[in-house]
Chain A
Amino acid sequence: MPVPGVSEVRQTRVLARDRAYASIRTAILDGTIRPGERLDDGELQAWLGMSTTPIRQALNALTVEGFVETAAQSYTRVVEPRVEDAVLHMQTIGVFILGVLDLTLGGLTESERNALVSDVDRLIAKLEAAELAEAMQASRAFYTRLMALCPNRVLLRLSERTLAARAFYVGVAYRALGIDWAEAAQSYAALRTALAAADSRGVALAAREVFRIDTVRPLHEGGVA
């Protein structure tokens, strides 16, 4: 399932560590640096043309964010998503989305709701056609619109800090796992129906299904949607 990852925009004068952070993060997201790849201090210095201190600070930030981890022998590497853990990251994204839905749906105008429903319609069509790139794009459009409508700025800021690395994790695991298109389309169809009917309880239940927040199935038998 494609998920929202809203990127941060920095406006202030850019420090070396912020440049290092942005460059490494982009390289991880676009696959230039691969999942599991070791991040060598010397290579990063040569690539970025800066000293080790800002690079370490950038790696520290990326570690806190969840893109990078320190291995046992204390070298640093890009996280290597494990298929069996992807559902944990998926659920974590879902917890934020459930919150956004709770805080947003009640205050929507008719036209805002219709726009969200149209977004979900497009997403369902792409899922039914099994078009990965377009489904990802349609999903991003839906979640971006939803989050833009959310009145809670604190929750949005935390989502921006937290969800990009979870979405990266889930995305990588997906490519390894393959997607059950019919099931994904079905979950979103339930969400669409409840959304169009302004049924918040129904939307929440459908969103729990989309993000594998099940009350019945044990976690590890879940797989990803």
Chain B
Amino acid sequence: MPIPRSPGQAANPRELVRERVYAQLREAILSGVLLPGERLDEGALRAWLGVSGTPIRQALHTLSLEGLVETAPQSFSAVIAPRPEEALDTLQTIGVLIVGVTILTLPGLERADRTRLAGLAAAVTAEHERGDIPAITKAAEAYFGSIIAACPNPVLVEVIAQAGPSLTYHVNVTYRALDADLAALGRDYTELSSALLADDELRVIDLTKRIFRIGTESAA
């Protein structure tokens, strides 16, 4: 899922250091430089980032609140280790947020916006036909990112900014456990593209639910 950044509140130098350390650690986790489950040793992080323990501990705490790091009292921290058995629950949870964004955003879109979104959805189908997972992910993120960017509810967008990275990380790491049917997904995105062009709100929502495997019975 696309990741709108949380607005930073850095004002003084100490907060700037904390922000930078947080951003570096977050990027290292999301890009795979740090591996799922990898232990985060404070000494090693101090040497790598060239800062004292305090901003590192603060950054790890923030990352634990966002679900990217696990910390246990009196123990070490580690990058979260996504569990394959939660892959479907996590995919559905992303879907719940995206469905909510879609419901809130669609009615306010101009025809030109819907046409652009339809084009982005069609591009996802094209990538499914090529079968390259990273390219599919990227195309899907472009589509969902566009809807989120148009969402009129900033509170929901902020919730997604906080929870999105961890949820997306889980799904990306445990993707195989989902046993996705790429051909069927490609067809879903084609239909989604048509429903957007036709301004068929109910259909767009049902297809979005189907893509995220939420209650398939309603999207007949």
Residues of A that sit less than 8 Å from B by CB: 12-15, 17-18, 53, 56-57, 60-61, 63-65, 70, 74, 85, 88-89, 91-92, 94-96, 98-100, 102-103, 106, 152-155, 158, 161-162, 166, 200-201, 208, 213, 215-216, 219
- Whether B163 and A158, one on each chain, are in contact in the complex, defined by CB atoms closer than 8 angstroms, is yes
- Whether A92 and B155, one on each chain, are in contact in the complex, defined by CB atoms closer than 8 angstroms, is yes
Closest to A166 in B: B155
B191 interface residue per 8 A CB criterion: no
In the complex, besides A91-B100, A96-B96, 11 extra interface pairs with C-beta distance below 8 angstroms are A13-B74, A18-B73, A56-B58, A64-B66, A64-B162, A94-B100, A99-B96, A103-B214, A155-B93, A166-B155, A215-B201
Check A15/B73 contact, CB under 8 A, given A98-B100, A99-B99. yes
B200 interface residue per 8 A CB criterion: no
| Contact partner, A219, options B65, B99, B103, B153, Cβ 8 Å | B153
Q: How far is the CA of A40 from the CA of B93 in the complex (A)?
A: 37
- Whether B96 and A201, one on each chain, are in contact in the complex, defined by CB atoms closer than 8 angstroms, is no
CB distance from B15 to the nearest CB of A (A): 8
- Whether B218 and A200, one on each chain, are in contact in the complex, defined by CB atoms closer than 8 angstroms, is yes
Q: How far is the CA of A172 from the CA of B4 in the complex (A)?
A: 28
- Whether B65 and A95, one on each chain, are in contact in the complex, defined by CB atoms closer than 8 angstroms, is no
CB distance from A38 to the nearest CB of B (A): 16
| Contact partner, B89, options A102, A154, A219, Cβ 8 Å | A154
Closest to A155 in B: B93
Describe A's contact surface by its main secondary structure.
helix
- Whether B218 and A162, one on each chain, are in contact in the complex, defined by CB atoms closer than 8 angstroms, is no
Q: Closest 3 CB pairs between A and B?
A: A95-B100, A99-B96, A154-B89
Residues of B that sit less than 8 Å from A by CB: 9, 11-12, 15, 54, 58, 61-62, 65-66, 72-74, 86, 89-90, 92-93, 95-97, 99-101, 103-104, 106-107, 152-156, 159, 162-163, 167, 170, 201, 209, 214-215, 217-218
- Whether A154 and B153, one on each chain, are in contact in the complex, defined by CB atoms closer than 8 angstroms, is no
- Whether B86 and A153, one on each chain, are in contact in the complex, defined by CB atoms closer than 8 angstroms, is yes
Check A99/B100 contact, CB under 8 A, given A64-B162, A92-B159, A152-B93. yes
- Whether B155 and A89, one on each chain, are in contact in the complex, defined by CB atoms closer than 8 angstroms, is yes
- Whether B89 and A153, one on each chain, are in contact in the complex, defined by CB atoms closer than 8 angstroms, is yes
Q: How far is the CA of A155 from the CA of B74 in the complex (A)?
A: 29
| Contact partner, A64, options B54, B62, B86, B167, Cβ 8 Å | B62
- Whether B218 and A201, one on each chain, are in contact in the complex, defined by CB atoms closer than 8 angstroms, is yes
CB distance from B180 to the nearest CB of A (A): 18
- Whether A95 and B61, one on each chain, are in contact in the complex, defined by CB atoms closer than 8 angstroms, is no
Check A60/B61 contact, CB under 8 A, given A200-B215, A216-B107. yes
- Whether A88 and B62, one on each chain, are in contact in the complex, defined by CB atoms closer than 8 angstroms, is no
CB distance from B11 to the nearest CB of A (A): 4
- Whether B155 and A208, one on each chain, are in contact in the complex, defined by CB atoms closer than 8 angstroms, is no
Q: How far is the CA of A94 from the CA of B153 in the complex (A)?
A: 12
CB distance from B93 to the nearest CB of A (A): 4
- Cβ contacts A to B, 28 pairs, < 8 Å: A18-B73, A56-B58, A61-B61, A64-B162, A65-B65, A88-B153, A91-B104, A92-B100, A92-B159, A98-B96, A98-B103, A99-B95, A99-B97, A102-B99, A102-B209, A103-B96, A103-B214, A152-B89, A152-B92, A153-B86, A153-B89, A154-B86, A155-B89, A155-B92, A155-B96, A162-B162, A200-B215, A213-B104
Closest to B12 in A: A74
Q: How far is the CA of A200 from the CA of B106 in the complex (A)?
A: 21
Q: How far is the CA of A71 from the CA of B106 in the complex (A)?
A: 33
Q: How far is the CA of A74 from the CA of B18 in the complex (A)?
A: 15
Closest to B89 in A: A154
- Whether A158 and B93, one on each chain, are in contact in the complex, defined by CB atoms closer than 8 angstroms, is yes
- Whether B58 and A57, one on each chain, are in contact in the complex, defined by CB atoms closer than 8 angstroms, is yes
CB distance from A206 to the nearest CB of B (A): 14
Q: How far is the CA of A63 from the CA of B61 in the complex (A)?
A: 12
CB distance from A6 to the nearest CB of B (A): 16
- Whether B73 and A12, one on each chain, are in contact in the complex, defined by CB atoms closer than 8 angstroms, is yes
| Contact partner, A98, options B73, B99, B154, B162, Cβ 8 Å | B99
